[in-house]
Structure 1
């Protein structure tokens, strides 16, 4: 089980990637073309629906597992079931492969007909066995529902939100005072911020897959006592995948001045921000960046060009291309 084993070696639990992988498999054309038995299709559909419901809470669960052991325990239970689910999908793949091989030997060239050759004995046994396993898995997933509800996990769409307004954005404020297992990572970033004025370290990325705690780590650094007296100004802006330069610039300006900005002319807003930053050492956090467009990044950083040496930008992102684009 290379896919599961590779992810399960990481300290935290990342079931969302597994569920995405399984949903893709369950919706694959080969599987749907193969599962012609009505009852098998119905069992697959019920399993798929249950997985979609679970997927909607995983982004929140994977973020909270760093601070809440009960959430992590629930994710571990879910991951254990994921191993069983992969076994079932492997059985499908093996049976599809077996039938493909039979078709090749019979000289068939039609992809559609390769699953339609009668093989009543094998079909009955396989369908009966696979339905039982799928039904059992769906039941076990449903058994996790009471605990899921008790944890009050926040629900999102099955796919990644595509607009800032679709989800509650993290802020610079820490949710809890104690976060375990991030001391070394935090100190590494603090050293880059406090001990290096090298321009090559102007942009410091926190890079990793969803749920790994990038925002939490940025919050810990942003609120650390050693930071408070090192910079003249601090600002926090949530970017998301909707990279609106005007909105982000206004958010940075408002974070610094604590005054609402009603201007909608980018040039005016950037001039105001540049005036606030001029002659001051600043720390800016850009949280959850997806955009890889170098031109848009160049426009956004225009007010930073006259920055004081030692100023820093922390970027949290899931995408290595973002880090490269921003010159980290």
Structure 2
């Protein structure tokens, strides 16, 4: 029996994120299984509604615990096959970038395996929802509304400063990104080189970019550094106004895009600049590229979208950010959950915490959130 029961919310969130993968949407159309993906998303949402009650009931209700165990197994297998698909698609894309949007799963057995595992996951979810009388924290509609409101209100604007006092497990990735920023050369026709930093929500894209942005070598290398938080509202005029204001430290009152472009080009002319576009969501328009700077200008775009690098005219190889190792996640978790060296006083809680870490898919945000939620809680239950 696992310590402190089976904890599934982070694992199901990882599945939810994987289902949003653009290439999966494309092949779903080819297979004609878009409705299957939609129904699975709906099932996942309904499960999240009752998951807290289910996780509490498992301590006294063995059938509920068995269902959660089966759900964990189905979720794990679904995540494995989706990760296999994403990795295979990435290899295909790098070898054949011109045919990215026509990427098919050419091996029928792989396609059938994906459909089989996703169907198994949905079936397991529905069996539990129809069998057990789980308590919903309020009406389901109100719960979902609160969940969405919480998501958007928690989408705080980012800046260039690193907020976390301690960062774990990103030294190698930071060094790689810094080297890309310091590399010479621009794209053809004098455009700045774009570096897309890609990963699922909460994986640490912004934090990694902040670390590189503030590295002493990067600060010395660039004449001008500009950080712009984009989020859902991809407004080119707004982006240019913010860039002008960052470069001049003064309010920009220009309204016409031609005037904005001209002003920004003059400001950046004969300068080596670094521009960060953080948290880009849009997949409907090109990311603006700039000319006129010195050799070695860079633009970093952080995003969860796999499409955005291929919307750029001259993209660099995307920088894919993976999850942290369990040891690093544990360090991050215990930093939030315990005081200094306090975990040594609670070996039973340490054991439970390490079991939790195995289930969160290496997502730093999940480790921080769970650690914070368990701060000062010292009862095993």
TM-score (ref. length: structure 1): 0.55
1:246 alignment counterpart: 237
Task: Show CA shifts across 1:295-328 (max 9, x none).
Answer: x43xx33xx2112111111111111210111232
User: How far did residue 86 of structure 1 move?
Assistant: 5.5
User: Quick check: 2:71–2:124 contact (8 Å CA) kept in 1?
Assistant: no
Per the alignment, residue 119 of structure 1 pairs with: none
Q: CA deviation at 1:15?
A: 4.4
Question: Is contact 2:231–2:279 with CA below 8 Å preserved after alignment?
Answer: yes
1:18 aligns with 2:15: yes
Match of 2:298 in 1: 312
User: 2:207 aligned with 1:216, yes or no?
Assistant: yes
Match of 1:270, SS state, is helix
The answer for the alignment partner of 1:93 in structure 2 is 123
Q: 1:86 to 1:181 in 2, by over 3 A?
A: closer
* Whole-angstrom CA distance in 1 between matches of 2:220 and 2:299: 17
Aligned to 1:275: 266
Alignment partners' CA distance in 1, 2:203 and 2:169: 11
Output the CA distance in 1 between the equivalents of 2:71 and 2:130: 16
State the alpha-carbon separation in 2 of the partners of residues 177 and 292 from structure 1: 33
Deviation at 1:267, TM superposition (A): 1.7
Following superposition, the deviation at residue 177 of structure 1 comes to 4.0
Q: Which runs of 5+ in 1 are unaligned?
A: 1-7, 29-43, 54-78, 97-125, 143-154
- 1:196-238 alpha-carbon deviations (Å, 9 max, x no partner): 3253781111111111110111111111111111011000111
Contact 2:196 2:301 in 1 (8 A): yes
Of 179, 187, 191 in structure 2, the residue corresponding to residue 199 of structure 1 is 187
The CA deviation string for residues 55-99 of structure 1, in whole angstroms up to 9 with x for no partner, is xxxxxxxxxxxxxxxxxxxxxxxx989617969x95983799xxx
Q: Which residue of 1 aligns with 2:310?
A: 324
Once residues 91 and 306 of structure 1 are traced to their aligned partners in structure 2, the CA distance between those partners, rounded to angstroms, is 52
Kept in 1: contact 2:40–2:122 (CA 8 A): no
**In 2 relative to 1, CA 14–212 (structure 1 residues): closer, same or farther, beyond 3 Å?**
farther
CA contact (8 A) 2:281 2:303 kept: yes
Q: Aligned partners of 2:311 and 2:173: how far apart in 1?
A: 23
Contact persistence 1:23–1:48 (CA under 8 A): no
Partner of 2:361: none
Secondary structure of the equivalent of 1:238? Answer: strand
Number of aligned positions between the proteins: 221
Looking at structure 2, the residues matched to 52 and 248 of structure 1 have their Cα atoms a distance apart, in angstroms, of 41
Task: Kindly indicate whether the alpha-carbon contact (under 8 Å) linking 1:288 and 1:317 is maintained by their aligned counterparts in 2.
Answer: yes
Tell me how far apart the structure 2 counterparts of residues 291 and 255 of structure 1 sit (CA, whole Å): 23
Cα gap change, 1:258/1:51 in structure 2, threshold over 3 Å: closer, same or farther?
Answer: farther
Q: Is the 8 A contact 2:16 2:41 kept in 1?
A: no
Deviations 1:92-129 (A, max 9, x none): 83799xxxxxxxxxxxxxxxxxxxxxxxxxxxxx89x9
Q: Say whether the 8 Å CA contact 1:238–1:287 is kept in structure 2.
A: yes
In the alignment, structure 1 residue 186 sits paired with structure 2 residue 174: yes
Cα distance in structure 1, aligned partners of 2:183 and 2:198? 21
Report the aligned-residue RMSD.
Answer: 4.2
Q: CA deviation at 1:183?
A: 0.6
Distance 2:159 2:70 in 1: 34
Runs of at least 5 residues in structure 2 that lack an aligned partner in the other structure: 1-7, 20-36, 54-67, 77-118, 138-145, 316-381
8 Å contact 1:23–1:51 — kept in the other structure?
no
Matched, 1:83 2:72: yes
